[in-house]
Amino acid sequence: MSLRAIVFYLLAALILAATGLAVTRKNPVHAVVFLIFSFLGTAMLFFLLGAPFLAALQIIIYAGAIMILFLFVIMMLSVDEAESTGFALFRWMPSIVLGLLFLALSALAVLRESGSGALLKPAMATPRDFGRFVFEHYWLAVEIISFLLLLGLLAAVLVGRGKREKRVGPEGEGEEET
Amino acid sequence: MIVPFNHVFMLAGAVFFLGLVCILTRRNLIMTLIGIEIMMNAAAIAFVASALHWHRIEGQAFVLFIIGVAATEVAVGLALVVAAHRFSGSVDPDRYDVLRW
């Protein structure tokens, strides 16, 4: 077993353990902190699989921006109510059974695919190659994604805005809040 | 030589499973959004592994788009959660039982 394989299995164990802990935590803050570890492990995995630029993006955007956004919202809402409790077995069993069924089926589909057991050869797509490829072949998609981000910004501002307050018009009316 | 291709796919499938369980079992909208993030992360792992397997850089390009979509989804989703919490005082989806205020 080569060094890369050992690193891969260690990273896989780290990702699965951190994600599993994140999913089962009661406190959302703990879940987010565990999830940051999971995303850092994923970034290392991307680096191992030859995508250093995506590893950097994963750390900056996922572990940095998105998770911090989650933390901000959790602390802003200060949610301390307990989750509504039901009979836990009835709540958890169907999803776990269905999820395991999905996992078994997908494992079967992947394992039966011929050539799926081939060993991955180490290769590296440098950020220069990656950027050149994306902007030569997928420039339209990049523009659409940037437009989507702009729309997301607008939607977040519109939805997250509180009660609309009427501006004081030049006539001096409309000072009451609607 | 790193590892067999299907081992990476197994990892992606297991992470996707954890995200699915998170969505289906948790009674908290924030945890639901976290579950969606986990599932998108699993899809990204599968894409990067495929890009290495077939030596096609398209897989990595798609991960870029996945990250963009995930960022947008989280921004809008968290804004919706904040608005819902402001209206009903709860992030429990079971408590949302009125159609208009």
Q: What pLDDT, on a 0 to 100 scale, did the predictor assign at position A173?
A: 46
Q: How far apart, in whole angstroms, are the C-alpha atoms of residue B42 and residue B30?
A: 19
Both A7 and A72 in one domain: the answer is yes
Cβ–Cβ gap A125/B68 under 8 Å: no
The residue-averaged pLDDT of B66-79 equals: 93
Nearest CB neighbour to A152, from listed B58, B76, B82: B76
Q: What pLDDT, on a 0 to 100 scale, did the predictor assign at position B48?
A: 92
Q: Structural domain tally of chain A?
A: 2
Q: What pLDDT, on a 0 to 100 scale, did the predictor assign at position B46?
A: 92
ipTM of the complex: 0.90
Give domain status of residue A91, yes or no: no
The pLDDT-based confidence of A172 (bands split at 50, 70, 90) is: very low
A-B contacts (CB, under 8 Å): 241
Q: Which residue of B has its CA nearest to A138?
A: B61
A56 touches chain B (CB under 8 A): no
Cβ–Cβ gap B41/A156 under 8 Å: no
How close, in Å, is residue B39 to chain A by CA atoms?
Answer: 11
Q: What pLDDT, on a 0 to 100 scale, did the predictor assign at position B96?
A: 78
Going from the C-alpha of A155 to that of each of A17, A61, B31, B79, the distances in angstroms are 35, 19, 21, 8
Domain that holds residue B63: 5-89
Give domain status of residue A9, yes or no: yes
Q: What pLDDT, on a 0 to 100 scale, did the predictor assign at position A79?
A: 66
Cβ–Cβ gap A77/B81 under 8 Å: yes
Give domain status of residue A132, yes or no: yes
The pLDDT-based confidence of A21 (bands split at 50, 70, 90) is: very high
End residue of a domain, out of A79, A103, A138: A79
Give domain status of residue A119, yes or no: no
pTM, two decimal places? 0.86
Q: Residue A72, Cβ neighbours under 10 Å: how many?
A: 11
Q: Structural domain tally of chain B?
A: 1
Whether the predicted pLDDT of A177 surpasses 60: no
Higher pLDDT, A92 or B71: B71
The residue-averaged pLDDT of A13-30 equals: 90
Q: What pLDDT, on a 0 to 100 scale, did the predictor assign at position A25?
A: 84
Higher pLDDT, A110 or A40: A40
Domain that holds residue A24: 1-79
Give domain status of residue A26, yes or no: yes
